[in-house]
Structure 1
Amino acid sequence: MSGGVNLAQLRALVAVAESGGFGAAAGELGISQSAVSHAVAALERAVGAPVVHRTGRVRPTPLGEQLLPHARAATASADAIAVISARHRGGPAGTVRLAAPATVCQGLLPGLLGEWRAAHPRVKVRIFEGEDDELAAWLATGTVDAAVLIDPDPAPAGSLQLAQDSMHALLRRDHPLAGQPVVDIRDLEDDAFLLSEGGCERHIREIYRRIGARFIPTHRIRDVGTLISMVHAGIGVSVMPALAHAMIPAGCVLIPLLPRVTRQLVLTGPADRPWHPAVTALVATAGGVPGG
């Protein structure tokens, strides 16, 4: 590439920025930490200024932040060319960076990853777990190659609806309603409500809108694990999607909730640029999965 910048240097910058350190970047790239350091240093000589802060937490400098979108685009294009070539030699290959919310990572992706490994052994999938509202931004900026988005409107062309996931009441097992086949949200009015401030908040508000009631949560919790632990401790109740079943301890239960509100889980590549060919292969392999 012109100006003395090459793909190895750009890959090193992206890996250091995304992993937060030279050692972790070396593991991601499969090279030595020294090689990563030399590649970043060579990039800095080529552009004439530091691209990462090396003191304290390793992070991009303002110049590094400006270079990152272009570095991601360049490395993604190079990977796509390699994958297209590999496809003609015997199927898709390469690494796909896939973003998904925590409930999808635990409740849906383990099965999909097994299917993908069997169907496309030359494709490696790296998972990026994030909040619902982060995923579309990561996809748009090129931080990831694909994402499982929640209720995208409109869904990008070529995307696949993986599942329809319904909202459930999360109760401690000794709660008076824990043995019921369904729970009406009105029956939880006397309980302290724990709200996860992730992407499910709008679905919970929709439930209360349908019954014409004000929604006033008692506690606001950012971390889903903390919320589950608090329900398990008897501090209150909550509402979570059915896919959260893999995260729920034995002392709690998920029960279908009325009014019924669902979310659509859609596997897609970016809307504004060509997809990594391996993403296309993964979408074609993943059949729609029934929701809860």
Structure 2
Amino acid sequence: MTAELNLAQLRALVAVADHGGFGAAAAELGISQSAVSHAVAALERALGAPVLHRTTPARTTPLGTRILPHARTAVTATAAVRTIATSHSGGLTGTVRLAAPATVCQGLLPGLLREWRTAHPRLTVQIFEGEDDELGVWLEAGTVDAAVLVDADPAPAGAVPLGSDAMHAVLRRDHPLADQPAIDVADLEDDDFLLSEGGCERHIRDVYRRAGVRFTARHRIRDLNTLIGMVHAGLGVSVMPALAQTMLPPDCVLVPVRPAVHRTLTLTGPTTRPWAPAVGGLLAATRPATQPPPSSPTTS
């Protein structure tokens, strides 16, 4: 190998690996697709072997897979240096990639984004919506810089608690139980149950286990909006977090379930590498919660 590596090549590799293609990587980096292709080709010449399979979506080769974590570290470290310099001269800048569950993206993040924009107007936050079990993986792999984790145990040092979020039954407004202050899950046995596979299944099973009621799902649905649409169409009922309130159409309601089960929400950076200064600034601007998130319906 005679050619030297440079940051632009590593940044191109990370972008293609994260976004699955050269066109999407170009849009993310703000450069032409040709420039991304040339950067990756130059990296491969410098290493003497391919780092990407030119498939759809693009995949890393065995060599690319091995060097990708180091490329991420280099890109993140460079961004951290720039952020420190900017902070030293008057305010955080740059981009924080933040992952969160769908209900958090809908019900909690809009308010947080307004707070963060006020505290750090030059800092950009990119939102990545994922399922509960994906978020920690993305965070530790370096795909995102911070995440809102569900039931983090233990919470990493420096993490900010965002509160707890109770499980509720989601029903059509004309359902016989829709006007009740709370519902025993045993009372839902006559309804077809629609199960979200987005991450709350263990909380739902915990509700039924604690009630001593057999749990049976009629349909298993991955997308939360699809599940809500099926409830809206009268095809069944479900249980989901209170933060889903903002996603419901007017003729659907959330009713607290008994026994009560909550999930905890924690905003954090990674545990296996130092936090970027922008992540620290973001968390410092976030007020820890001592009660359920403000968008949660009142429970009794």
Pick the TM interval, shorter chain: over 0.9
In the TM superposition, residue 30 of structure 1 has moved relative to its aligned partner by 1.5
When the two structures are aligned, how many residues end up with a matched partner?
291
Q: Which residue of 1 aligns with 2:278?
A: 278
In the TM superposition, residue 288 of structure 1 has moved relative to its aligned partner by 3.1
Q: Which residue of 1 aligns with 2:124?
A: 124
Amino acid at match of 2:97: R
SS of residue matched to 2:161 = strand
Q: Which residue of 2 aligns with 1:202?
A: 202
CA distance in 2, matches of 1:8, 1:108: 35
In the TM superposition, residue 130 of structure 1 has moved relative to its aligned partner by 0.7
SS of residue matched to 1:178 = coil
Identity %: 69
Q: Which residue of 1 aligns with 2:109?
A: 109
Amino acid at match of 1:37: S
SS of residue matched to 1:216 = coil
CA distance in 2, matches of 1:102, 1:4: 42
Q: Which residue of 1 aligns with 2:240?
A: 240
Q: Which residue of 1 aligns with 2:93?
A: 93
Structure 1 segments unaligned to the other structure (5+ residues): none
Q: Which residue of 1 aligns with 2:36?
A: 36
Superposition pairs for residues 188-227 of structure 1, below 5 Å? 188-227=188-227
The CA deviation string for residues 5-44 of structure 1, in whole angstroms up to 9 with x for no partner, is 1111111111111122222212211222221111111111
SS of residue matched to 2:112 = helix
Q: Which residue of 2 aligns with 1:140?
A: 140
SS of residue matched to 1:264 = strand
In the TM superposition, residue 3 of structure 1 has moved relative to its aligned partner by 5.8
CA distance in 1, matches of 2:201, 2:186: 17
Amino acid at match of 2:77: S
CA distance in 1, matches of 2:161, 2:213: 31
| Aligned residues of 2:146 and 2:267 also touching (Cα < 8 A) | yes
Amino acid at match of 1:23: G
TM-score (norm 1): 0.95
CA RMSD of aligned residues (A): 1.5
Superposition pairs for residues 148-187 of structure 1, below 5 Å? 148-187=148-187
The CA deviation string for residues 99-156 of structure 1, in whole angstroms up to 9 with x for no partner, is 1111111111111112111211221111111110111111111111110000111000
Whether 1:258 aligns to 2:249 is no
In the TM superposition, residue 55 of structure 1 has moved relative to its aligned partner by 4.0
In the TM superposition, residue 62 of structure 1 has moved relative to its aligned partner by 2.8
Structure 2 segments unaligned to the other structure (5+ residues): none
CA distance in 1, matches of 2:216, 2:150: 24
CA distance in 2, matches of 1:146, 1:11: 19
CA distance in 1, matches of 2:191, 2:255: 16
CA distance in 2, matches of 1:58, 1:15: 11
SS of residue matched to 1:110 = helix
Of 51-60 and 31-40, more deviation after overlay is shown by 51-60
SS of residue matched to 2:89 = helix
